[in-house]
Structure 1
């Protein structure tokens, strides 16, 4: 009898939780009757009534709903890892608490899992969101596809269905400052891609700020691509060639036109340009060094304050 664990990271989602629980439970009717369900809600240090509402949902469905309360806010990806560590299912799914992703898509995902696929991706073919958020998301995933992981689907994704084996491999890596969904693709398992249109958020306000989006982009790029370091090398080589040519020009000028005025403006432009490049290069190298230091500390990705249910930690 297969068991499906649905992992839901929660952060300031007190208004969403009742709707999310209702839709997830109603979605069970679309599955074969032999499937067992487990819902692992992870409270990522919310400062509102999210935990209280989750405990109310657990009281309503004590045989299905489990709650993991983290001691502080560690980010949605670390919260997902915490949910994976406490899930007991043969297969798992990750879905957002705001119900922008259609839970009914999990039925198709489950069918592909039964056929032997260990990773099934719900790919955002389009989104009902507009404005800067949509533009940023599209740019982010385009850059990641062309600079880091060429085998990820277009449009991005954070709605996935995967086998326990995938979860165990991710948990063994203890990856820090990374993207848990890209890690699943990086493992190399063949995956199925199911496109869908992401819904517009109807309830509550997103806490996915621009600062967090920029951090995610930097973390994802540095975790899966050597492009920034390679770009430094290429630009440094080009600057070296330019400097050599300019040096030859200055020597020739002194030999053939010793009375010519010195090019102070040109020299200052070159110095400022090279200095700016050096500072950017040091910043990029510093990002890599900091991540190495952060990993060497071996601090936990999250701290569990309380668990509510009979979940088994792995």
Structure 2
């Protein structure tokens, strides 16, 4: 009999969490394993923590963790891993788009010897699928070749994978990306993704852009290669244009005029240089941020029940 930790990052999900908890409890009743449920409140502005705190006061298997502010879903995933005690850890989103009974299937695959079990989803929304496919194909092509094309929000990892990810101690990255990068054996379980039970998605456009940048900067040197290629192309174009001017002047006694063309070239080169500086800045910022050794998150409090007593710990600290 194994201990399975189910980790649920949540941000402003007070409406869905009670139903998610009920479905999780119902789905694991048929299992012979022991379960713990860890809800990480990523600085919600609604009653998310109060809701999971009330659940923790009634169920000793539940632990509620509250951040001091919003640090992002990947910091919430990392916090869940650092507080998990299980032999395996399963992640599931709080919006109920992923069926809770999928956890049992992931555990079965884990028992067969797979160290990383990924739930690969099918999409019904064609517009969402189009943009998702672009992102995941770019990631597969230039960063993480083992990334599922359809993406995932639910997966399970073995304890040795948990320890490896925690030991990396990286910030501004993707926890799932670190799991794939670690190279442990993988298995895929396919499922149909549903619609949100209540509320709206908290994945704003800016969060999606940050995830895209974090993934490429953390796991790929492709942006740097693009910079080098653009530099070579622009240099060659400038060299060829200079030859055209020289030949026209020496052999045809024709001077090439035009301030407009000169300004176009200057603006083009300046724009490309600014883009390159921005890409370099992303890499330099991440190195600087890592060197400051600030914690990836700060925990305000942890609520759990031990021996019929509810513990409400005021942590006020980050990752150790």
Same fold? TM cut 0.5: yes
Which residue is 2:2 aligned to? 2
Which residue is 1:57 aligned to? 55
Task: Write the distance in 2 (CA, Å) between the matches of 1:199 and 1:45.
Answer: 26
- 1:146 CA drift (Å): 1.3
Q: For residue 29 of structure 2, give the secondary structure of its aligned residue in structure 1.
A: helix
State the Cα deviation string for residues 35-75 of structure 1 (Å, max 9, x = none). 001000111111111111111211231x2111111111100
Which residue is 1:38 aligned to? 36
Quick one: which of 154, 161, 164 aligns to 2:156? 161
Contact 2:6 2:90 in 1 (8 A): yes
Contact 2:248 2:254 in 1 (8 A): no
Contact 2:117 2:156 in 1 (8 A): yes
Task: Write the distance in 1 (CA, Å) between the matches of 2:8 and 2:95.
Answer: 10
- 1:215 CA drift (Å): 0.8
- 1:259 CA drift (Å): 4.3
Count of equivalent residues: 308
Equivalent runs, 1:1-314 vs 2, <5 Å: 1-31=1-31, 33=32, 35-61=33-59, 63-124=60-121, 126-129=122-125, 131=127, 133-309=128-304
Which residue is 2:316 aligned to? none
Q: For residue 99 of structure 1, give the secondary structure of its aligned residue in structure 2.
A: coil
Task: Write the distance in 1 (CA, Å) between the matches of 2:188 and 2:42.
Answer: 28
Question: Which stretches in structure 1 are left out of the alignment for 5+ residues?
Answer: none
State the Cα deviation string for residues 88-137 of structure 1 (Å, max 9, x = none). 1111100011111112222221112112211100112x223454x44332
Contact 1:9 1:97 in 2 (8 A): yes
State the Cα deviation string for residues 239-264 of structure 1 (Å, max 9, x = none). 11111111111111121233435233
Task: Write the distance in 1 (CA, Å) between the matches of 2:282 and 2:143.
Answer: 16
Q: For residue 100 of structure 2, give the secondary structure of its aligned residue in structure 1.
A: coil
State the Cα deviation string for residues 149-202 of structure 1 (Å, max 9, x = none). 112121111211011111111111111111100110100011001122211112
Question: Which stretches in structure 2 are left out of the alignment for 5+ residues?
Answer: 312-318
Q: CA RMSD in A?
A: 1.6
Task: Write the distance in 1 (CA, Å) between the matches of 2:207 and 2:256.
Answer: 52
Give the structure-1-normalised TM-score. 0.94
- 1:138 CA drift (Å): 2.3
Give the structure-2-normalised TM-score. 0.92
